[in-house]
Amino acid sequence: MAIVKNNFSIINENEEKLPKIPFAEIKEASLGNNYSLSVIFTSSAKIKKLNLIYRDKKTSTDILSFPLNKNEGEIYISLSEAKKEAKKFDRQFDNFIGFLFIHGCVHLIGYDHGSTMENIEVKLRRKFDI
């Protein structure tokens, strides 16, 4: 299933229903109207393969962000890995998907883990009640 709207697409490669998160609004608030973003909800096996290829890590993960150029990127999210991680962070699954999506968007605008990234994420989480 794919949803495409205004420089934004969501592709669900799973059979699971996606959580009701304002993805497009979060994308606009964090990346802007002109940024072209694809979000792919994929399997644990596929994200593990991508993690090995692009990060040389042999484990699965819940999210990967790939800036393709200044105004275009991709985010991969594994719903099954996110379910495991949500429990570790004591968050509801839907809320955690929003948390991850914000995290991925902030990476795409060029921030690495640290206090500046965290501050930007906190502002976005507050804005979207995540």
pLDDT for residue 3:
57
pTM of the predicted model as reported, rounded to 2 decimal places: 0.91
Domains in the chain, number: 1
How distant, in Å, are the alpha carbons of 7, 10, 83, 92 from that of 87? Answer: 32, 24, 7, 8
Binned average pLDDT, 10 residues per bin, the chain of 130 residues: 72 90 95 94 96 94 94 96 91 94 94 87 95
Domain ranges, residue 75? 2-127
- The Cα–Cα gap between 85 and 68 comes to 27
The CATH number of the domain where 78 resides is what?
3.40.390.30
